Structure 1
Amino acid sequence: MLRPERMSKVSVTGSKGVMPTVIERIHELNLVHLSDYDGSWEGFDNGNPIEGADDASEKLVTVRALESSLELSEDDTAPGTIDDDWEARLERIRTRINELDDRRGELREQHRDVEERIDRVAPFAELGIDLDLLGGYESVDVLVGEGSVSDVEAALDSAEEIRAYETFTGGDVVAVVAEPAEGADTDALVDDALVGIEFARHPVPETEQSPEDYVAELEAERDEIEGELDEIDAELAEIKAKEGSFLLRVEEELTIEVQRAEAPLQFATSDRAFIAEGWIPADEYERLVEGLRDAVGDSVEIEQLEVADYEEHEHGAEAHTGSGGDDGDGNGGEPSADSETEQPAQRKAATDGGQPQSGQGKGAVTMDEEPPVILNNLTPAKPFELLVKMVSQPKYSELDPTLLVFLTYPFAFGFMIGDIGYGILYMLMGWGCWKLFDSDAGKALGTIGIWAGVFTILFGWLYDDIFGVHMEYFVPEGIHGVMQDYLFVASLDKGLQATEWAIFWIIFSIGFGLIHLNMGLILGFINELSHGLKAAVYERLSWILAMNGLFIWIFSLHLVEEKPDFLVGATEEAVLYDFFGFAGLPEVVGLVGLAMFLVGGVLVAVGEGIAGVFEVPAWAFGHVLSYLRMVAVLLAKGGMAFAVNLLVFGGYTQDGYTVFNLPTYDVTGYEQDFVGLVHVGDTALISAIGILAGIVVFVLGHILVLLLGITAAGIQMLRLEYVEFFQKFYQGGGEEYEPFGHESSEEAASASAQPQAD
């Protein structure tokens, strides 16, 4: 679970005559993550695509272009079937779609032109003056545009070149007719006068029609164009409905053909032989051998070059040298003495005389390659792989944190929200997301939401909360009887009004943080062991000692008088003593913890230098205190729900606590602190208005709390996972396992219909 599936590197060698058959069978098996040949063998080059690859690629580009024109996707329709005459059918579809697409482009260009002409004429229609009256004069200058009439007239009054002028307005449009002063030129007379003020000029359209008639004619032309566009869109929609399934199936088949045809680009080939290498799950090796033997018999040599260790290593000469090659005869990678002496000669014959260069492993033509990763998690934890991959795919050599994220993320989310009502809604939202999205990421996100809702309900039951209201007045007595029998209280409290509970959750969050960070540091220690025990001690054990030693001392009785009263000691202020009777760790244990802290600090200084010493306060203390954000969210969201309910129901004081004035409560003898919307008013009308307002505030207020809960609790816990937890051990950067092959639409539909196994 913390390790990915174990991977094996395999090699397939044979003559070029069987290469197409081998490629086809490997593609059908959908099993081998092909490695790229690195050009390291003398006499071997990367292969060339199989004949027909260019033609298939061109057809694939054509099909995808047609799908783009139709705005076709797999969500619209399922892949259909293809017949022997599919190429002629595809050509007919291509020709018709291109004709429609070209015509649509022309019409859209015409539509834009008509719209621009309407925009130019519309101001003149608003002005209400015939267009022939706005031009053709020699003795006066005419200008039409949009601007402030007062600014225009002020500019014209101050222009010495203008002897007289007249303005005409219609809406925001202004027409100016100006006569030049003696000796002045009429060209650009008004234009020059209006320099410096905001005035949008409109050129006068060249037409003998009235503006109104011209606009009406243009609008009719626009409507005609839009009608033709609608006809084209309707025909394209008809083609999409009729031929969409066919196009998707052709794309699927062409994709497979192109994949097969271009596979030799990753092979090492000579004039007469080829070598293909790749990674497969270790337990699938026999299936690969059987599949190839069924296809080409003994015409190829199949080797298992290595079963990759999880410890970080460099793939290549050291990794491959000595790895037993299994040719499918059951030797299992342990060659006999005879086979060891005969293997090079056999390899030479099979590969057309090619031999590894100095330093290369037997049969290995791709070097320095990290195995691809197949995460191996329990079914309930698989959706949480999404949260891990949002950072990066784990490396093959490092531990996969998915299971630990699954165990901590929903738990912390539920702790921070803790409300049955919100939990039910979170589950419904997660279920809706799961149903709405077909992608793996969408379904994973929905499942995460369901898990978060489950733990929110669980903690809501522990807190006795439903939409911020205690359930004790709505459910039978004894619902928390099991807690009374096995825990220290009948129900927990968020600590909004009980200070001791708020302090308890502070200590609880610190404890959760210590456990969470220790898990990360232990995983980091295990990862660092691949670099040697010394590196693991300096890099991770040092921080384990420093952090745990410091908090062992903090929760000990050593110097108890100097520590906060709520933390340790046999007093009522000490929360752990008040709840559990735990005063603190013995003084000698505290001294041991202090020694652990000092030893850890020294190891940090030795391993990381003086710079590491300055990081000790952050790593040993600050990172743990980051988990106090859990308490902050708990109190903030609880306080918001409390405020909404107080506004709606009102409240009164009972035994020093504010209690909501719910209809089921007996408030006899208690003074109301706040009446609440549902209780306001002395008349039926005002009461009805108050109740209606209370319902609106209750619904909208709790929706707000619900949504803020997602952002606050969800994002804060993600931060703790990514920054505090992952930082202790996780690097990422692994390559995802992508086998050479293609799962057909029928196989995918069949697989989705089958229940997943645990």
Structure 2
Amino acid sequence: MLRPERMSKVSVTGSKRVIDEVIETAYDHHSLHVTDYEDDFEGFEPGSSLEGAADVNERLVTVRSLGSILEVEPGDAGPTGVLDDAELQAELETVRERVNELTDERDELRDRVREIDDEIDRMEPFAELGIELDLLRGYDSLEVVVGEAKADAVEDALATAEDVRAFEVFSGNGVVAAFAYPEEDAEEGVLQDALVGVDIAILEVPDADASPADYVSELETERDEFETELADVEAEIESVKQDAAGFLLRAEEQLTIEAEKKQAPLSFATTDNAFVAEGWIPTPTYDDFAAALDDAVGDHADVEELERAEFTPDGHHNEAVHDADGHEAATDGGHEVSDDKPPVVQDNGFLANPFEVLVRGYGRPKYMEFDPTLLVFLTFPMMFGFMIGDVGYGVLYAAIGAALYWKFDDALEDMGAIAIWAGLWTVLFGIMFGGDLFGQHMISTPFSKGVAPGASEFALAWLVFSVLFGVLHLNVGYLLAFVGTSQRHGLKHAVYEAGSWLLLLNGIWAWIFSTHVEGMKPGFLFESITVVTGIPFAGLPQTVGFVGLAAALVGAVLLGIGEPTELVEVLSPIVNVVSYARLMAVLLAKAGMAVAVNLLAFGAYVGEDGGFHYIFTPEHLEYVRGHPESYDLVFGGMTTSPDMTAVGLVAGVLVAIVGHIVVLLLGITAAGIQGVRLEYVEFFGKFYEGGGKPYTPFGYDREYTASE
């Protein structure tokens, strides 16, 4: 699980006479990750598409265009089946003609409705004036301007105009109509010249004889008629969609498959008479793949396993491999025409598989790297659950996750599974913390989150245990780095690059938890372990502290020899581990928020036992107030006051509901982000880079069609 699936590089060499059969067989087997020929092998050149590829691509474009126009969705699919090529071509032409006819008609009607709407909008200013349209044009001796402007500004401009003998201005809601009688010797356009300095937006008078109101009414009637026709056309398009959706989905899938097959030779190396196709295949499937090709074309094609990729820096291994007949192949790779890294097939099992989405968020593992998915599965939901630690919130997280898991596919489905695991761990820690149910202790346990009065020692204890978890987590990361570096570069490099950090990490923290210079160290470092485990712990012996310092010194020396530039980060094992204190910080923050919500809504008191208890009824509050010698009232609460009205009661309940929803949502962001950060920054940074190539086997997972 910590390694990707073993991959083999294979070469398929054959006569061009059987290239169609080879492509069909490889496509149906759906296991060969084909690599592109890079035109760097003497005597070979990139292949060309098979005959008919252009026609298939053209039809595929048509099908996808029709699907987009009709807004076909996967849910519109009908029963699966096989489409005969002639049947596909005939039905596609029928659907295309009908859809084009209807969409052209729909577009024409939409344009007409849009034009009418624009004309109605253009008529609104004239309706505000209340003047007949024929009175605003057609004069021989008068000039008329209609526009949006201030009437006073227009009148002032016309009053001072030299070439205007008389004028009249009408206005309504910001629209003015100005009539001017020019002087006898004035040139045409006097009115507009007079308004040059006025802020006016001139409007064109519509060519209509009716009143503005009547004209708008005529336009609205015409628009209603076009909209009725448009609705009929859209209904017909929807009917065509219902009839053709299943066909279009099947046709798109079938044409996509045909196009991929016909374009496959573009990745091959070819000569006039032969071809070579290379790619990667999961090693366990090689024999079956070779047998399938042998059954299909016999001796007309030869399959060779060029190499069996090892987890080395270049992804290659020089062990002897074999061809399809079991004969040992050349260790130089036989007919190898490309040099590329193997793709990655992550194999993490049913339970851990959803957590691959978190790993790929950082970067898909390289073939030579350890795949950290299993470790993320073991640690991320546990950290999340610890930071929230509440049965109520945990159940809700799991319920949200279940809804995502069952309703969606792909990444959201994986996120749903992650939420379920996070919710389950939240419930487990909630039980450990006293059966916390939305901040309310339901059972008695030896543990507390540390936010209640008198429980501060637990807050410090969880700080210490967060740090100890960090030490353990980082040890795993450095150990993986040690093993990986040893396999790739040898033991010497592993000692310098990873062993040095292991010595520094464990040496420094062994000294911190030892009794050496005990007076300089806070007492809670040792007491916290006793608080949680019940086992008396006064610190590791001084001897262990001395050994730890010596180990850290040796680690620093090794680091200086192997990676001198990293000596400036010699204290990073302390910094990285302290970063895990955020686990305790989020735990206390979310617990404190839940307590604050309950305190505001219900009130609370500290009892004779020193415990923190909520108040849920007015009678209980009165009893607490009546016995101040036994109970220390913290807050009365919104819902428990004897003077509280029904409105106040409802308000208190709303505060409780909304407050816990806020805590729930903030828990997702705070605990989720901090957990991911610890995985990505602190943990992955020790041994993991990412950037691997995804495995995309040649083939297609059919959904709407059946193979012949």
TM-score (norm. length: structure 1): 0.85
In the other structure, the counterpart of 2:190 is: 186
- From 102, 108, 117, the counterpart of 2:110: 108
Q: Which whole-Å CA distance do the structure 1 matches of 2:180 and 2:236 have between them? A: 56
Q: Secondary structure at the match of 2:13?
A: strand
2:666 aligns with 708
What is the CA distance between 1:377 and its match in structure 2? Answer: 0.6
SS in 2 for 1:274: strand
Please say if residues 10 and 305 of structure 1, whose CA atoms lie closer than 8 Å, have aligned partners that are also in contact: yes
Is contact 1:467–1:702 with CA below 8 Å preserved after alignment?
A: no
Match of 2:540 among 560, 578, 585: 585
Number of aligned pairs?
691
Give the equivalent residue in structure 2 for 1:527.
484
Residue 601 of structure 1 is matched in structure 2 by: 556
Q: Which amino acid aligns with 2:679?
A: E
What is the rounded CA distance, in whole Å, between the counterparts of 1:158 and 1:673 in structure 2? 81
Matched letter for residue 327 of structure 1: A
> Counterparts of 1:226-305 in structure 2 under 5 Å?
226-305=227-306
Secondary structure of residue in 2 paired with 1:373? coil
Letter in 1 for 2:467: I
Q: Does 1:660 align with 2:662?
A: no
Indicate the residue corresponding to 1:456 in structure 2: 426
- Answer yes or no: is the 8 Å Cα contact 2:10–2:306 preserved in 1: yes
The Cα shift of 1:146 comes to: 4.3
- Residues 129 and 493 from structure 1, CA distance in 2 versus in 1: closer, same or farther, beyond 3 angstroms? same
Amino acid at match of 2:13: T
**Compared CA separation, residues 747 and 202, structure 1 to 2 (3 A):** closer
Contact preservation (8 Å) 1:146, 1:201: yes
Q: Corresponding residue for 2:638? A: 677
Q: Partner of 1:278: helix, strand, or coil? A: strand
- Superposed displacement of residue 455, structure 1: 0.8
Residue 517 (1) aligns with residue 464 (2):
no
Hey, what's the Cα distance between the residues in 2 that align with 1:94 and 1:86?
12
Q: Which residue does the alignment assign to 2:412?
A: 442
Aligned 1:119-518 pairs, distance under 5 A: 119-136=121-138, 142-146=144-148, 168-176=170-178, 186-189=190-193, 191-195=195-199, 200-313=201-314, 315=316, 319=317, 323-328=320-325, 330-331=326-327, 334=328, 361-437=332-408, 439-472=409-442, 489=446, 491-497=447-453, 498-518=455-475
Report the residue type matching 1:432 in the other structure: A
CA distance in 1, matches of 2:350, 2:650: 46
Q: Tell me the C-alpha RMSD between the 2 structures.
A: 2.9
1:612 aligns with 2:566: yes
The Cα offsets for residues 645-670 of structure 1, whole Å up to 9 and x where unpaired, read as: 11111122324554311249684424
- TM-superposition CA deviations, 1:376-429 (whole Å, max 9, x none): 112100000111112221111100010011011110111111111111111111
Q: CA deviation at 1:566?
A: 2.4
Displacement of 1:607: 3.1
Mapped to 2, the partners of 1:201 and 1:624 lie a distance apart of 73
**Structure 1 CA distance for aligned equivalents of residues 190 and 705 of structure 2:** 81
Higher alpha-carbon deviation: 280-289 or 739-748: 739-748
Shift, 1:79, TM fit = 5.8
Cα displacement (A) at 1:499: 1.6
Letter in 2 for 1:606: I
User: Secondary structure at 1:740's aligned position in 2?
Assistant: coil
Counterpart contact for 2:33–2:280, Cα < 8 Å:
yes
Q: Is the 2:385–2:423 Cα contact (8 Å) retained in structure 1?
A: yes
Q: Secondary structure at the match of 2:429?
A: helix
Letter in 1 for 2:261: R
Would you say the 8 A contact 1:413–1:713 is kept in 2? yes
Shift of 1:471: 3.8
What is the match of residue 692 of structure 1?
650
- In 2, distance between residues paired with 1:68 and 1:282? 41
Tell me the distance in 2 between the aligned counterparts of 1:597 and 1:641: 42
Question: Distance between the aligned counterparts of 2:140 and 2:674, measured in 1?
Answer: 76
**Residue number in structure 1 paired with 2:601:** 648
| Distance in 1, Cα, partners of 2:201 & 2:603 | 60
Alpha carbons 2:450, 2:457 under 8 Å: kept = no
Query: What do the CA deviations read for 1:462-491 (whole angstroms, capped 9, x no partner)?
Result: 11244434343xxxxxx65xx6xxxxx2x4
Q: Report the equivalent of 2:68.
A: 68
Q: Cα distance 1:104–1:499, how it changes in 2: closer, same or farther (>3 A)?
A: same
Q: 1:291 to 1:156 in 2, by over 3 A?
A: same
Alpha-carbon displacement from aligned partner over 1:541-590 (angstroms, at most 9, x marks no partner):
2222222222222211111111223224xxxxx43345542121111211
Secondary structure in structure 1 of the residue aligned to 2:645: helix
**Which residue is 1:571 aligned to?**
none
Residues 22-74 of structure 1 deviation map (CA, whole Å, 9 limit, x = unaligned): 11111111111112223233222222211111111111111111111111121
| More deviation, 10-19/533-542 | 533-542
Cα distance in 1 for partners of 2:184, 2:655 equals: 75
Q: Measure, in 1, the Cα distance between the counterparts of 2:92 and 2:62.
A: 9
Measure how far apart 1:729 and its partner are: 1.3
- Equivalents in 1 of 2:641, 2:159: separation in Å? 66
Distance apart, 1:592 and its partner CA:
1.9
In the TM superposition, residue 178 of structure 1 has moved relative to its aligned partner by 6.5
What CA distance in whole angstroms lies between the structure 2 residues aligned with 1:288 and 1:501?
60
| Deviations 1:109-164, CA, capped at 9 Å, x for gaps | 33332222222111221332222333456777654444666777788889899898
**Using the alignment, how far apart are the partners of 2:605 and 2:294 within structure 1?**
83
Given that 1:678 and 1:690 are in contact with CA atoms closer than 8 Å, whether structure 2 keeps it comes out as yes
After superposition, the Cα gap between the structure-2 partners of 1:2 and 1:314, relative to the gap in structure 1 and judged at 3 Å, is closer
| 8 Å contact from structure 2 (residues 430, 437) kept in 1 | no
Q: 1:93 aligns with which of 89, 92, 95?
A: 95
Q: Is the 8 A contact 1:310 1:396 kept in 2?
A: yes
Out of 410-419 and 145-154, give the one that drifted further: 145-154
Structure 1: runs of 5 or more not aligned: 341-359, 473-478, 484-488, 569-573, 750-758
Is the 2:309–2:315 Cα contact (8 Å) retained in structure 1? Answer: no
Aligned mates of 1:393, 1:464 — CA distance in 2: 40
Amino acid of the structure 1 residue aligned with 2:639: V
Give the C-alpha shift of residue 94 in structure 1: 0.8
Aligned-partner Cα distance in 2 for 1:141–1:719: 75
User: 1:314/1:416 Cα in 2 relative to 1: closer, same or farther (>3 Å)?
Assistant: closer
- CA gap 1:186/1:427 in 2 versus in 1, 3 angstroms: same
Secondary structure, aligned partner of 2:299: coil
What amino acid is the match of 1:54?
A
> In 1, Cα distance between the equivalents of 2:703 and 2:663?
43
Paired with 1:280 and 1:176, the residues of 2 have a C-alpha distance of 84
Aligned-partner SS, 1:390: helix
Are 1:167 and 1:174, in contact at CA under 8 Å, matched by a contact in 2? yes
Amino acid at match of 1:678: T
Distance in 2, Cα, partners of 1:234 & 1:591: 85
- Partners in 1 of 2:616 and 2:248 — Cα distance? 62
Distance 1:665 1:215, change over 3 A: same
Give me the whole-angstrom Cα distance separating, in 2, the residues matched to 1:260 and 1:20.
Answer: 8
Q: Deviations over 1:675-727 (max 9, x none)?
A: 22222353xxx532222222222221111111111111111111111122111
Q: Distance in 2 between matches of 1:139 and 1:518?
A: 99
Distance 1:688 1:10, change over 3 A: same
Give unpaired runs (5+ residues) of structure 2: none
Secondary structure of 1:192's aligned partner: coil
Q: Is the 8 A contact 2:158 2:195 kept in 1?
A: no
The secondary structure found in structure 1 opposite 2:639 is helix
Supply the distance in 1 between the matched residues of 2:497 and 2:367 (Cα, whole angstroms): 21
- For 1:736, the aligned partner's letter is P
SS in 2 for 1:13: strand
